[in-house]
Amino acid sequence: MIKCIDCGAEYGLRDIIYTCRECGSVLEVLCSPHVSKDIFECRKSTMWKYKEFMPVDESRIVTLEEGGTPFCKCKKLGDELGVKLHVKVEGSNPTGSFKDRGMSVGITKALELGVDTVGCASTGNTSASLAAYAARAGLKCIVLLPAGKVALGKLAQAMFHGAEVISIKGNFDEALEAVTALALEGKLYLLNSVNPFRLEGQKSIGFEIVDDLGWRSPDRIILPVGNAGNISAIWKGVTEFYEAGFIQDLPRMTGIQAEGAAPITRAVRKGLDDIVPVENPETVATAIRIGAPVSAKKALRAIYDSDGLAETVTDDEILSAQKLLARKEGIGVEPASAASIAGLKKLVEMGEIDKGEEIVCVVTGHLLKDPNTAINACKEPIEVDANLESLSRVLNHL
Ligand code: F0G
């Protein structure tokens, strides 16, 4: 069943619906199978390991074997900050971001519903993922991108997988409004995270964190927040495992936003249940350059219900954290993903995070998604002749 998170109105799993027809709020899919966690043993490590928790027809699953991503212990960085740190590396998904989890479920649902065209607005990763999964399923794909604000790797992916790429003169929020209008006219099946089936896939990050820790919850999960789907999804995942009796505690959900695009953090500071949209959001982390997140209400509930936090970080803090993670731990992530590390550092310094806490930072997309930002942060390589003498001269000066 699909249910409105505000008024409780109920809809069928085959309804094509994005927001509540009664009150306009966001929807969620209810899913509570009665299973023992023993059934997960010996299954392949993809997100479909937890298929009983995925509300789609098992016989039609469209998958590129997403999920089962690395869960890296980061001892050096953790020791420096005085916490037990694990990093969930979502850049290792098939198209290089966590969106693949949501798209696997979303595209499977699209096939079940018999639609022929799917679409989304995107800051980049959603479009890259949708283009790939639509190609695999043989569906037409239309993506709307904010002109000039999508990182190169993501744009290349969306175009190369054969999506119809439309550049919108406006920001992500405006592109989302436009594509939603198309969806409501029946021109395409909308696969932004306002579609509750997307979050059903992404909740598997929460399942995996618990499973990776040996069926325990960490003290805290920290992640970047843009459209606010992922924080809502991960909270849904850990809550479902808690309600199934698989874990005894729940993590504190901690969302990090860029200073120039922080409606959720502002709402949390004031204790509000909904956001005031930010006009003209701006940040180097283009993936989270969003002023009016559609899943804001769900995200705020996740933060309040888990006794969590929301914080902002500056672009400089994001870029320093990106470099720190790459150079200290060998994990290459795009700027938005590094917001989780920058946020951890800031919250430790502020004394909001206790020494010794067990933390999982979710890093959401691969370094190569945004090669320009990476290259701009480095010195040009030195060019020399290919002989020992020239090389020795250069090495002596390092
Ligand atoms: N990190 C990355 C790398 C992202 O691409 C996104 C969102 C987020 C974090 C934030 O996740 O929106 O669920 O709060 N990217 C979307 C896109 C908006 O279009 O690719 P969220």
Q: What is the DSSP letter of 366?
A: B
The CATH number of whichever domain residue 176 belongs to comes to 3.40.50.1100
For 392-398, what is the mean pLDDT? 91
* 86 lies in the same domain as 112: no
Round the average pLDDT of the chain to a whole number and report it: 97
pLDDT-derived band at 388 (thresholds 50, 70, 90) equals very high
> What confidence score (pLDDT) does residue 35 get?
96
* 101 lies in the same domain as 244: no
Is 78 near ligand 1, meaning CB less than 6 Å away? no
pLDDT at 208 > cutoff 90? yes
pLDDT at 32 > cutoff 90? no
pLDDT at 237 > cutoff 90? yes
* 170 lies in the same domain as 229: no
Is 232 near ligand 1, meaning CB less than 6 Å away? no
Is 229 near ligand 1, meaning CB less than 6 Å away? yes
pLDDT at 19 > cutoff 90? yes
Say how many domains are in the chain: 3
Beta strands 252-258 and 220-224, pairing class: parallel
What is d(CA 91, CA 77) in angstroms, rounded to the nearest whole number? 19
Three-state SS for 296? helix
- For 84, residues 6+ apart whose C-beta sits below 8 A from its C-beta are 78, 356, 357, 358, 359
What is d(CA 378, CA 381) in angstroms, rounded to the nearest whole number? 9
Is 226 near ligand 1, meaning CB less than 6 Å away? yes
Q: List, for residues 264-277, the tens digit of each pLDDT value.
A: 999 999 999 999 99
> What confidence score (pLDDT) does residue 398 get?
83
Is 58 contained in some domain? Answer: no
- For 356, residues 6+ apart whose C-beta sits below 8 A from its C-beta are 82, 83, 84
| Residue 162, domain extent | 97-196
pTM: 0.98
Give the distance (Å) from ligand 1 centre to CA of residue 56.
23
Q: List, for residues 370-386, the tens digit of each pLDDT value.
A: 999 999 999 999 999 99
pLDDT-derived band at 84 (thresholds 50, 70, 90) equals very high
Identify the residue whose tokens are 């964190």: 209
Q: List, for residues 165-206, the tens digit of each pLDDT value.
A: 999 999 999 999 999 999 999 999 999 999 999 999 999 999
In order of 128, 132, 136, 230, the CA distances from 161 in angstroms are 8, 5, 9, 24
Is 322 near ligand 1, meaning CB less than 6 Å away? no
Give me the percent of the chain exceeding a pLDDT of 70: 100
What is d(CA 238, CA 231) in angstroms, rounded to the nearest whole number? 11
* 172 lies in the same domain as 275: no
* 227 lies in the same domain as 238: yes
* 114 lies in the same domain as 79: no
Is 255 contained in some domain? Answer: yes
Give the distance (Å) from ligand 1 centre to CA of residue 10.
28
pLDDT at 397 > cutoff 90? no
